[in-house]
Amino acid sequence: MTEQGAPAARTEPPATATTAPFWEATRERRLLLQWCSGCERPIFYPREECPYCTATSLRWRPASGRGSLYTFTVEHRAPSPLAGGKGPYVIALVDLDEGVRMMANVVNCPLDSLEVGMPLEVTWEQLPDGRCLPLFQPREP
């Protein structure tokens, strides 16, 4: 299979009051996760209430940006030019070391090298508004 090409400009993800700290940190290429003050569990995607204990006292903490590939699919054709350009591209679920699962693209990896369980690390794609989109790429174990 071929290596992935660089994605085209994407539609900018919406930011809300709940997600604003996450997106603001991406301007500095920092990955943040919410943590519940009640049960001390990490949370992803950002929300207003803990999905485990329903506490509303959530705070933001830096994440390591490291994880492993849980599962993936290779899309050979983008559904729209605003979805990231041409195919093929990888849509993946990544298990972060902190204990949450995140959906993202895997980049900088030959498609035939993708393997469930492979170690990944965050990398960034600049968005037109200055925020960055977290993507993942292979890392050394």
Domain spans in the chain, listed from the N-terminal domain onward: 20-138
pLDDT, one tens digit per residue, over 63-112 is 999 999 999 999 987 666 665 566 788 999 999 999 999 999 999 999 99
Contact 89, 80 (CB under 8 A): no
pLDDT for 47 equals 96
Q: Is 36 exposed, middle or buried (0-12, 13-18, 19+ CB in 10 A)?
A: buried
Which residue, 115, 66, 76, is CA-closest to 92?
115
- The pTM assigned to this predicted structure is 0.87
